[in-house]
Amino acid sequence: MSVAVKLLVMFLVFASAAIAIFLAVAYSTHLPVSEQHDVQQHGYAIRGRWFLALVLFLIASFAASIPFYPYMSATAALAPARKVPVIAEQYAFIMPSRLPVDKPIIFEVTSRDVNHDFGIYNPQGHLIAQVQAMPDYTNYLRVIFHAPGQYTARCLEYCGVGHAIMAKTFTVGGK
C-alpha cells in the first residue's frame, strides 16, 4: 500500500468520525428540547477540552513531521552523491535515461521556459518524490532508488496544453 493510499484511509477515518458527530447532533433534534442555557453550560466544558486536545494534537503532529521534511540539510548537500541535472521545457524533461540503484542522487532541477514540476513515479505507479522546476532557479532533490526498474518522471505543474504528455521514463539499475 502506497503512502498516499494510507493517507486516504486516514482521511476516511477522520472524515467518518466527523460525520458521525454531525449525524448524532442532527439526531438530537428529535429528542426532547433542551434550554439553550443548559446546552451551553455542558457544551462550554466540552469545548475547553476539545480546544486543548486539538491544539496539542496539531502541535505534536507538526513537531513529528519536521524530521521527514524533504528539504536538504547542509550536511546532506555536502555528502557524496551523484549530481544529475534535469532541465524541464515545454513538454519534455532533458535528463539521463539510466540511474544507479541504492546510490544517493541529487537532481538539479530547473526549467527553460515556464514552471513545471518533476514528479517521480516508481514502477508500481506510486508518486515517491517531486520538486518544482522553475525558470531562473535550481531546486535540489535528493533521492535514493532502492529498487531497480522502470521509473517515470511526470510534470505535475500545469505548463500549457501539452502538460499531460510531458513525461520521461528512465531505468534504475542494470548496465
Q: How far is Cα 87 from Cα 135, in angstroms, rounded to an integer? A: 10
| Site string (130-149) toward other proteins, x via CB under 8 A | xxx-xxxxxxxx--------
With CB under 8 A as the contact rule, the residue among 79, 94, 127, 168 that binds other proteins is 127
* Contact characters 68-97, other proteins, x per CB under 8 A: xxxxx-----------------x-------
Q: In 3D, which of 81, 80, 84, 134 has the Cα closest to residue 112?
A: 134
Backbone conformation region of residue 97, classed left if phi is above 0, alpha if psi is from -120 to 50, else beta: alpha
Asked if 40 is part of the footprint of other proteins (rule: CB under 8 A), the reply reads yes
CB count, 10 Å around CB of 154? 20
Judged by CB under 8 A, the residue of 66, 78, 83, 97 near other proteins is 66
Contact segment (CB under 8 A) with other proteins among 59-67, 79-87, 97-105 equals 59-67
Stretch that binds other proteins, among 36-44, 79-87, 94-102 (CB under 8 A): 36-44
**Distances, alpha carbon 44 to alpha carbons 17, 26, 54, 79, 99, in Å:** 21, 19, 15, 54, 59
Between 31 and 175, CB nearer to other proteins = 31
Residue 88: C-alpha distances to residues 37, 96, 128 (Å): 62, 13, 19
Nearer to other proteins, 85 or 158 (CB): 158
